[in-house]
């Protein structure tokens, strides 16, 4: 099933903003907004806040040298969570847009930049190349001689 580009872009923007905010003084305010976004009921709010806090603790536990790599990893993880949320509950998109606007305009958290990925592969002889932008399953059918 193809995921609409708008959901992917919005989920990525949300994840990037969330992870950037983890290292700011505005974290408590941002955490509460995102926890409400992810909560599906009253009991779920505390669980959502706990997940967010665990991610932040993981980020802050790393030294400066690993910070960029850890931010990228967390952004990828939260991007998947946000995309899943938006697929399951499309009405949450408006709430996420409000959170992003608040974070960018009021708190000064920078907006994520668009990026692209280019994959290049060369196969020679009897070799195979497998590339994917996401999940991929390969079942080897043995030697093809």
DSSP string spanning 1-23? -PPPHHHHHHHHHHHHHHHHHTT
Query: What DSSP assignment string belongs to 23-73?
Result: TSTTHHHHHHHHHHHH-SSHHHHHHHHHHHHHHHHHHHHS-HHHHHHHHHH
> What would the mean pLDDT of 31-54 be, rounded to a whole number?
88
The pLDDT score that the predictor gives to residue 125 is 85
Residue-level pLDDT at 38:
93
Residue with tokens 């930049």: 113
pLDDT category of residue 96 using cuts at 50, 70 and 90: very high
Task: Categorize the per-residue pLDDT at 84 as very low, low, confident or very high, splitting at 50, 70 and 90.
Answer: very high
Question: Is 35 within 8 Å of 99 (Cβ atoms)?
Answer: no
């Amino acid at each position: 099933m193809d995921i609409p580009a708008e959901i992917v872009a919005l989920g990525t923007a949300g994840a990037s903003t969330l992870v950037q905010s983890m290292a700011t003084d505005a974290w408590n305010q941002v955490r509460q907004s995102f926890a409400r976004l992810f909560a599906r009921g009253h009991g779920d709010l505390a669980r959502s806040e706990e997940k967010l806090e665990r991610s932040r603790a993981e980020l802050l536990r790393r030294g400066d040298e690993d910070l960029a790599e850890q931010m990228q990893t967390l952004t990828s993880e939260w991007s998947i969570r946000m995309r899943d949320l938006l697929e399951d509950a499309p009405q949450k998109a408006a709430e996420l847009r409000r959170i992003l606007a608040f974070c960018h305009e009021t708190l000064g958290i920078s907006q994520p930049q668009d990026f692209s990925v280019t994959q290049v592969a060369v196969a020679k002889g009897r070799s195979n190349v497998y590339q994917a932008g996401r999940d991929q399953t390969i079942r080897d059918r043995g030697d093809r001689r």
